[in-house]
Amino acid sequence: MKPLNKTMPLVLAALAIGGVGFFFGRIGSPTSAVGDDHSPAAKDEHAHEGEPKGEESHAEEGVVKFDPEGLKLANIEVRTAQALPMPSGIVLTGQVAPNLSGVAKITPRVAGKVTSVTANVGDTVRSGETLATVASTELAEAQAAYRQARASLSLARSNLQRQRRLAGLGEFGRHKVEEARGNLASLQAEVLSAQDEAAATKAEIAEAESGLAAARAAREQAESALKLAQAKLERAESLFREQIVSRQDLDQAQADAQNAAAALEAARALTSQAETGVASAKARLRFDEGKIVAARRRLDTGRQALAREEAVYRSGILTSREVAEAESAVRKAELDVRAAADAVRLLGGTPGGGNVVAVTAPIPGRITERTVTLGETVGTDKALFSLVNLASVWVELNAPQGQVARIRVGMPVRIVSQSLQGRTFQGVVANVGDVLDETSRTAKVRVVVENLGAMLKPGAFVSGTFVGPAATQARTTLAVPAEAVQDMEGRKVVFVPGDAEGEFRAVPVQTGEESAGLVEIVSGLEPGQRFVAKGALMVKAQAMKGELGHDH
């Protein structure tokens, strides 16, 4: 048997390519595949067709049986199920998505007619490379405004030179002196006029004060007359009561008293009016005197201005208003030119150039969409090309609710793509979603991956293993070697020994995490129960051989 044991790797290779007939003819035949229902007659028929002598052909249904020689050849190892320390890592699945930092929708900066298209879908382009050109009416108008601004600037500079030449000849300085002299004469006239007005006001005050004195004298006279009339009235009333004077004399005394009172009121009114006139005239005098002071100050300023202009004229200093205005016009024209140039650049043109704008790639990458044709009229809201740079991509993994809390931004992640024969890529967690999907109860975990060679394509399915101590937790759980778990009829199974030597039966199990060569058993196998830890593939192959034999 020792030589046979040395040939076991060859036998396993034969199994992998389907040449298992002879080997399992020596091991023995199962009575049934897992869950099959076959009659004893069918079993007898298969036993007579090719099973070796001495093999059990009527074993219990659902049991895989090996004869002693086959059991040795299979090299089956049976262990007792127990809880084992098992590192629990995080392995998630998801899809590749474009990194939005590397995605560009390319629109023209101006509306217009497409005059050329040089890029097509699938082209790899550089940043700044021209993809198309657009002829723009708006840019043509901006270029015209720029040229007009340049012409205005040239004219303003010519005018400034002319004004400076005139100023150098003294033209503007002589005019300034004459203007200052004329202004001084006007100021002198203002002072004289203010003095004349003040003199007239003083005469009015004298006349008003004379009238006020007369009014006050008349008032005093009226007051005396009223007192006399009131005394006469009192005497007449007394004599009338004594019947010394007549009623007519009393009435006359009353009338005289009333007339005296009216005369006093009139005198008082005239006095008040005269006082008001005097006060008004004095107020005008104060105003006129203020005008004189102001006029004299302006006169002093005018004299200083004349002296300054005469000094400037004599020294030849160029301080003409015309030159200052010309300089201001040049500065404004320069600002207009800069504004017009900025307007051209904003539209994607070159100041002084034409009206054709290049549509360029903002980033390097590959053209994934083209929506423009030659001669088409396009607007600034139309994307002419779509560009994707796959140097860096996102992998969006689906994290179950229980694992979200263990994932942190910055964790390293190893991305595996089975479509690329298990090639691995390195990434880093950039974002952990805050919202769980209502159906799957998973959160999106975004991983930024350096995509060397742009091998990962958007939409591809991948898996991600989180790396590092923070992503791994040690725990003790019921676990078996990974090779002990087999797939049969769409179910995970573990083989356990039967009642007799060389007999095994499949037990469906529910598995959990897989790590470090171990598979967690959630249900189907109990601690202390014996199971096939090594050679389960042989048992599965024997069971499948029996199934094929029954289907023959």
Q: Measured in Å, how far apart are the chain's first and last C-alpha atoms?
A: 32
Name the residue range of residue 202's domain. 174-315
SS3 of residue 102 by DSSP: helix
Output the pLDDT for position 164: 81
Residue 182 and residue 266 in one domain? yes
* CA torsion through residues 86, 87, 92, 93, sign: negative
Residue 222 and residue 263 in one domain? yes
Q: What's the rounded Cα separation, in Å, for the pair 308 and 298?
A: 15
The residue out of 386, 404, 434 marking a domain boundary is 386
Phi (first) and psi of residue 115, to 5 degrees = -105, -20
Residue 440 inside a domain? The answer is no
Residue 393 inside a domain? The answer is no
Q: What's the rounded Cα separation, in Å, for the pair 483 and 394?
A: 34
Which stretches of the chain drop beneath a pLDDT of 70? 1-62, 88, 168-174, 312-320, 470-471, 546-552
Residue 254 and residue 221 in one domain? yes
Q: What's at 237, amino acid-wise?
A: E
Output the pLDDT for position 24: 42
Residue 131 inside a domain? The answer is yes
Nearest by Cα to 525 from 90, 85, 84: 84
Residue 185 inside a domain? The answer is yes
Q: What's the rounded Cα separation, in Å, for the pair 484 and 498?
A: 16
Residue 184 and residue 272 in one domain? yes
Residue 331 inside a domain? The answer is yes
Output the pLDDT for position 150: 93
The CATH number of whichever domain residue 83 belongs to comes to: 2.40.420.20
The CATH number of whichever domain residue 125 belongs to comes to: 2.40.50.100
Cα–Cα distances in Å, from 153 out to 62, 330, 337, 426, 483? Answer: 102, 6, 7, 60, 87
Q: What's at 487, amino acid-wise?
A: D
Residue 195 and residue 181 in one domain? yes
Residue 149 and residue 244 in one domain? no
Name residue, tokens 């503007």.
172
Number of separate domains in the chain: 4
Residue 262 and residue 295 in one domain? yes
Residue 305 and residue 240 in one domain? yes
Q: Quick check: 107 and 382 in contact, CB under 8 A?
A: yes
The CATH number of whichever domain residue 165 belongs to comes to: 1.10.287
Q: Quick check: 40 and 494 in contact, CB under 8 A?
A: no
Residue 215 inside a domain? The answer is yes
Tokens found for residue 538: 């042989």
Nearest by Cα to 466 from 512, 382, 399: 399
Residue 240 and residue 325 in one domain? no
Name residue, tokens 């050329």.
116
Residue 299 and residue 201 in one domain? yes
SS3 of residue 478 by DSSP: strand
Q: Quick check: 296 and 302 in contact, CB under 8 A?
A: no
Residue 52 inside a domain? The answer is no
Q: What's the pLDDT tens digit per position in 86-135?
A: 776 788 899 999 999 999 999 998 999 999 999 999 999 999 999 999 99
Residue 481 inside a domain? The answer is yes
What's the burial of 59, exposed, middle or buried (CB within 10 Å: 0-12/13-18/19+)? buried
Residue 205 and residue 292 in one domain? yes
Residue 282 and residue 327 in one domain? no
Output the pLDDT for position 394: 96
